[in-house]
Amino acid sequence: MIELKDVMPIPFLKKEAFTGSYKGMRYRMAKKEVPLSENSEEKQTVLSVFIWPQPFCFDKTEDSEKTEKLFDFSPEGIKEAVAWLNDMYISEKKRWTKD
């Protein structure tokens, strides 16, 4: 399973996106600015996490193959994201293994 030590901390994610993979499931974590509400110009920083199946990198994978979930941009948000990645690996295992 993916462990917290396998992903980058907040200081890294403030500057760069992080990508990784686990047994056929690829993932990407990045800082993202989103509006506070539909009509708001104010923005909040969140942790955007995408998953998609191998073999291609994020930029070469069709958007329809990607799933995104947003988390709090904090150490706790990273923990929640790692738990979500592991849950998604288990719940959609056939998507990653193609067996």
Domain positions in the chain are 4-97
Could you give the CA distance from residue 71 to residue 24 in angstroms, rounded to a whole number?
A: 23
Give, for all 99 residues of the chain, the pLDDT tens digit. 999 999 999 999 999 999 999 999 999 999 999 988 888 889 999 999 999 999 999 999 999 999 999 999 999 999 999 999 999 999 999 999 875
Could you give the CA distance from residue 46 to residue 34 in angstroms, rounded to a whole number?
A: 7
Could you give the CA distance from residue 63 to residue 52 in angstroms, rounded to a whole number?
A: 9
pLDDT at 98: 72
pLDDT at 13: 97
What number of residues does the chain have? Answer: 99
Could you give the CA distance from residue 18 to residue 65 in angstroms, rounded to a whole number?
A: 19
